[in-house]
Chains A and B, each alone.
Chain A
Amino acid sequence: AQTVTQSQPEMSVQEAETVTLSCTYDTSESDYYLFWYKQPPSRQMILVIRQEAYKQQNATENRFSVNFQKAAKSFSLKISDSQLGDAAMYFCAYKPRAAQKLVFGQGTRLTINP
């Protein structure tokens, strides 16, 4: 079975500093997508960043970047220059290219300390 594991239930960081959220996954597929979603207190899930497995280059979206290690099945999210608005639950997710459904991790609650 395909599984996604986020081993950090909670993380905290000082405003303006950098934090890395961890995610590992288990799959026998070679072609898939990986995602990080953010869920703020409003509960509205927002896509933060997306990575295609066949692309070696790590995805970047402004202050958000990933470290994708395909062989290790690791997909961590780095948030640079943390802002108060980054406080949220962060979910890592996986989807095989041929499938329609996403598999989510357990989530990491990120707190930003002013």
Chain B
Amino acid sequence: DVKVTQSSRYLVKRTGEKVFLECVQDMDHENMFWYRQDPGLGLRLIYFSYDVKMKEKGDIPEGYSVSREKKERFSLILESASTNQTSMYLCASSAPGQLNEKLFFGSGTQLSVL
């Protein structure tokens, strides 16, 4: 089975801190995604990457950046955390045109910014 691993299940940070959320997948998938999940808003795409060092903005990229130096790893960076970035962050991966276009998800990181 494909495994998508997010480095932290829960994270508490202070306003203004630089925050790194890490995601690793073990199936050599080209695509990787960062979504943010908020009650009543569902999942919203922050950034995605379709290859190493390639990235595209999603629907809500403001306040975030990403890094993909290796195919298996996709990092989400909050340059200066703010309280409105308190949320659940979900990482996902997929192989374009394969596996019925299925997204494989990590278990999420619940981030609290105080």
Spell out A's residues near B (CB within 8 Å): 4, 6, 9, 33, 37, 42-45, 47, 50, 91, 95, 100-107
Check if B74 is an interface residue, CB within 8 A of chain A.
Answer: no
A47 to chain B: closest residue by CB: B102
Residues of A close to B107: CB separation below 8 A: 42-44
> Is A50 in contact with B102, judged by CB distance below 8 angstroms?
yes
Across the interface, name the chain B residue whose C-beta is closest to A9. Answer: B40
CB pair A100 B48 closer than 8 Å: yes
Query: Does the CB pair B105–A100 fall under 8 Å?
Result: no
What's the Cα separation between A37 and B33 when bound, in Å? 16
- For A95, the chain B residues whose CB sits under 8 A away are 101
Q: What are 26 contact pairs spanning A and B, CB under 8 A? A: A4-B42, A33-B101, A37-B103, A42-B107, A43-B88, A44-B107, A45-B103, A45-B105, A47-B102, A47-B103, A50-B101, A91-B42, A91-B43, A100-B31, A100-B48, A100-B94, A100-B96, A101-B33, A101-B45, A101-B58, A102-B45, A102-B103, A104-B43, A104-B44, A105-B42, A107-B40
**Cβ of A100: which chain B residues have Cβ within 8 Å of it?**
31, 48, 50, 94, 96
B84 contacts A by Cβ under 8 Å: no
Chain A residues with CB under 8 Å of B12's CB are none
Asked if B98 is at the interface (CB within 8 A of a chain A CB), the reply is no
Residues of B within 8 A of A4 (CB): 42
Q: Are B100 and A44 in contact (CB under 8 A)?
A: no
Q: Which residues of B sit under 8 angstroms from A33, Cβ to Cβ? A: 101
Q: Shortest distance in angstroms between A34's beta carbon and chain B's nearest beta carbon?
A: 10
